[in-house]
Amino acid sequence: MIVGRHEAERPAPVHSVPKAKAQDFLARLAPEHAAFAKANGFDGAAGQTLALPDGAGRLAMVLLGTGDESDPFAAAALTKYRDATFALGENWRDPTAATLAFLLGLYRYDSYKAVPEKTAKLVAPEGVDTVDVRRIAKAVGLTRDLVNTPANDLGPAELADAAQALAREYGAVVEITDGEDLETGFPMIAAVGAASHRPPLLVDLTWGDETAPKVTLVGKGVVFDTGGLDIKPASAMLLMKKDMGGAAQALGLAQMIMDAELPVRLRVLIGAAENAIGGCAFRPGDVLRSRKGLTVEIGNTDAEGRLVLADALALADDEAPEILIDFATLTGAARVALGPDLPAMFTHDDGVAQEIAVSGEDVHDPVWRLPLWPRYDKWLKSDIADVNHISSQAFAGSITAALFLNRFVEKAQAHVHFDLYAWNNEPRPGRPKGGEAQAIRALYHWLSVRYGA
């Protein structure tokens, strides 16, 4: 946690020691500390930590190896010292990033196991907006928690509960559409969730001044994806609890926006469904009528996420928001192209794309733009419906998915689609293995700058 200076007695300074400067730094230490560091092989390599004692055996300081200084989350390594209080010492390029890294490193998903009672503390560095840093860390924690929750404890109703909890905290309004109203108004969401014993639904959260600029977030909330009748192999189902990662991102970003009281009219739409297998499951070759009125031929039931998003996007587009952003764990093709760390970003607006990319660089939350290449749109042709929801080709799967979604947005002034992974396959400082927030810190920074807060 972050504490004030008046709350900390004898905080231990933590010095960032890049590998290239390690020898010079160690030469300035007291001889006994320099000898201790040498005996323990400390050379500033990334991830190294070394606690140096004082003459009374107490913690005098910690040296943190930061290698080539390329990892903005290096300070998270301090959180392994659970019963200590630290203060940032020398060589920290970005104290705000270090403070956020420390808080993100404290994250534990502890719903199903006991956790240690004690935790590391960091004295609030001078000049760091710790209120905002805490805000961001809290929202990242919400996002991670939702993605990490097993599907048996997070169905469509529980995802709606999470949205309603946010609404209660910040004075927002939530409407839930389900049952016959969902079948009539959002037929593709209803079709995706028809085979599950847990009914599908649409979450519609609104907050803020109706006259303010409209910012709408849409999240894919497929709480578990078997692939439907085009069933996935067992190995591909192991992480499918995270297929609602898009909804988690939308709720995490919404929390930051509302907590910061950004001067916008916020709307969050989540299509929540379980893509299960049963007698009511939709089939390959079916033709579904969408909320927009377009008929959609089903090429593969394992491409269900774009169907859920399309109906929600059509509703979002009705009021022509200034900014429309959707999030989804949508295609393996995006991961093949960019790997797990880089969310794919699609938009027709060059200015918005550049601004978001720069914001991502500023706050160490990268995104990478891919093109809405118009020549591939013909690959979505159907012989019997207005459009097929998957491509007839084996190429550019993330692009054709984005092109399909683009057909459901006409009025929004700017539409940005994110195809992301929402997961860390391996633990790193500040980024534990498991569910992850991606792109939302970049977007929060961008929206804060755009709307002058």
Best CA proximity match to 147, nearest among 441, 422, 418, 439: 422
Q: Amino acid identity of 168?
A: R
Best CA proximity match to 142, nearest among 240, 306, 259, 238: 259
Rounded CA separation 450/453 (Å): 8
User: How many Cβ atoms from other residues are within 10 Å of residue 151's Cβ?
Assistant: 18
Rounded CA separation 96/93 (Å): 9
Two tokens, residue 5: 């200076």
Bridge partners, residue 85, by sequence: 121
**One of 19, 134, 232, 369 is an active-site residue; which one?**
232
Query: Cβ distance 453 to 262 under 8 Å?
Result: yes
**One of 306, 407, 441, 450 is an active-site residue; which one?**
306
Rounded CA separation 266/58 (Å): 50
3-state secondary structure the chain: CEECHHHCCCCEEEEEECHHHHHHHHHCCCHHHHHHHHHCCCCCCCCCEEEEECCCCCEEEEEEECCCCCCCCHHHHHHHCCCCEEEECCCCCCHHHHHHHHHHHCCCCCCCCCCCCCCCEEECCCCCCHHHHHHHHHHHHHHHHHHHCCCCCCCHHHHHHHHHHHHHHHCCEEEEEEHHHHHHHCHHHHHHCCCCCCCCEEEEEEECCCCCCEEEEEEEEEEEECCCCCCCCHHHHCCHHHHHHHHHHHHHHHHHHHHCCCCCEEEEEEEEEEECCCCCCCCCCCEEECCCCCEEECCCCCCCHHHHHHHHHHHHHHCCCCEEEEEECCCHHHHHHHCCCCCEEECCCHHHHHHHHHHHHHCCCCCEECCCCHHHHHHHCCCCCCEECCCCCCCCHHHHHHHHHHCCCCCCCCEEEEECCCEECCCECCECCEECCCCHHHHHHHHHHHCCC
Q: Is 232 a catalytic residue?
A: yes
Length of the chain: 453
The catalytic residue positions are 232, 306
